[in-house]
Amino acid sequence: MSNTEKKTSMYENVMHEFNKAADKMNLDAGVRKILATTQNEVVVHFPVKMDDGRIEVFTGYRVQHNNALGPYKGGLRYHPTVDINAARALATWMTWKSAIAGIPYGGGKGGIQIDPSQFSQAELERITRRFTYALGDNIGPDYDIPAPDVNTNAQIMAWIADTYASTKAPSQRANNFHVVTGKPVGCGGLEGRDRATGFGVVTAIKKWVKAHNVDLKGKTYIVQGFGNVGYWTAHFLSELGAKLIAVQDHTGSISNPDGICPEELLAYAKTNKGGVGGYPKAKAINNADFWKTECYLLVPAALGNQITVNNVKDIKAQLVAEGANGPTDSEAEEVLLKKGIAVIPDILCNSGGVIGSYYEWLQNKRAEVWHIDEVLERLQRKIEHSFDLVVEASKEYDCDLRTAAYIVALKKIERVYKERGVFP
């Protein structure tokens, strides 16, 4: 999936995008200095006993970019690519994403630099609990609220919530389980949170095609990454009559011009260590050929920096909808736009996850139970409203959707700093 050629880092991309938008809108110089850096960066090294009795030391990160609009919010990922620069980029994107969505959160992100497939379930639990303990009060239900991300899930969130709550006085434990979102429903999770990001991606796609008088029925699409976001995006697109013809993940790339059923592929992946490689109802293709697949829609829903100058020339889609965070580097996007390929940017397109997390957080704080129909209806309205704001900004500033999305976010935060001032 990745190229051996040098890539621009995600943090370089996020700063390039930030500066481009700040110049375009003439962002206040003082606010620009504040937003150009992170507020807090936490690095923890912690020991964990393995199943065989040996001790390993792991490194975890939590970066908090800005909390002008509310508590820090963002995922925790378990992946070998996790480092301080990646966490900075992802935390910064979360600030913009929350601002565009109009929810009272700032941006945070973090994780542990591991390959979780190399550890047993018991080891992952101990790693997670020890990481939570090491973070201590650097997270909290009204301060910094983690959520699932790459290679983390509802079970891991449940372990974090339980560990964090266990460090509080018995009388306060029940008031601390919303320290994380994305929990299992039985542990205070939100119905529909599992599909919120994918549902949001498809909602944004529907808004775009409607504005361009396009019917998705019969349109072909390809998906990179078939985890939570990739699967649910495919699920909702197929319900609309679109046809999945190629998928790529860490186990390889597959193609079938006659169509791939997302439900059948998911069932296969569950028996294949979560991967699509070897799926019998599709042909194996080279990873490079995946990007050459002629289609209407491309959904990158894996890791960052996947569409680069090395493969962008091969892309034959008409629309790119970013389900992942930072999947397109800045140089590659310029090429896409020159080729007439539209891009729905990540901070708008995949914001369904943080919106769903906000609803779960509210549900917990209010001691309420929300049902899935209500959740998805609220989520759809939020995404549609955000999309309209970005389109309006795009027209006002005569710019692409990504720059417009940044402008929407920056204007909201700039207004807060101007109204409240900066503490002397």
- Give catalytic residues, as residue numbers: 109
Whether 345 contacts 204, CB under 8 Å: no
CA distance 44 to 294: 45
Residue with tokens 């790693």, as numbered in its chain: 127
Q: 157 and 125 in contact (C-beta within 8 Å)?
A: no
What CA–CA distance (Å, rounded) separates 151 from 7? 23
* Residue 228 marked as a ligand binder: yes
Pairwise CA distance, residues 138 & 351, whole Å: 24
Q: Is the dihedral of CA 26, 11, 352, 331 positive or negative?
A: positive
Is 364 marked within a binding site? Answer: no
Residue 357, annotated as binding a ligand:
yes
Name residue 126's amino acid: R
- Name which of 370, 333, 416 is nearest 98 in CA terms: 416
Q: How far apart are CA 172 and CA 260, in angstroms?
A: 49
| 394 appears as a binding residue in the annotation | no
Asked whether residue 7 is marked as a ligand-binding residue, the answer is: no
Question: Which is nearest to 354 in space by CA: 13, 40, 71?
Answer: 71
Strands in 40-49's sheet, in edge-to-edge order, are 40-49, 55-66, 106-112, 72-78, 144-148
Annotated binding-site members: 73, 97, 197, 228, 357
Annotated binding-site members for substrate: 73, 97, 357
Annotated binding-site members for NAD(+): 197, 228
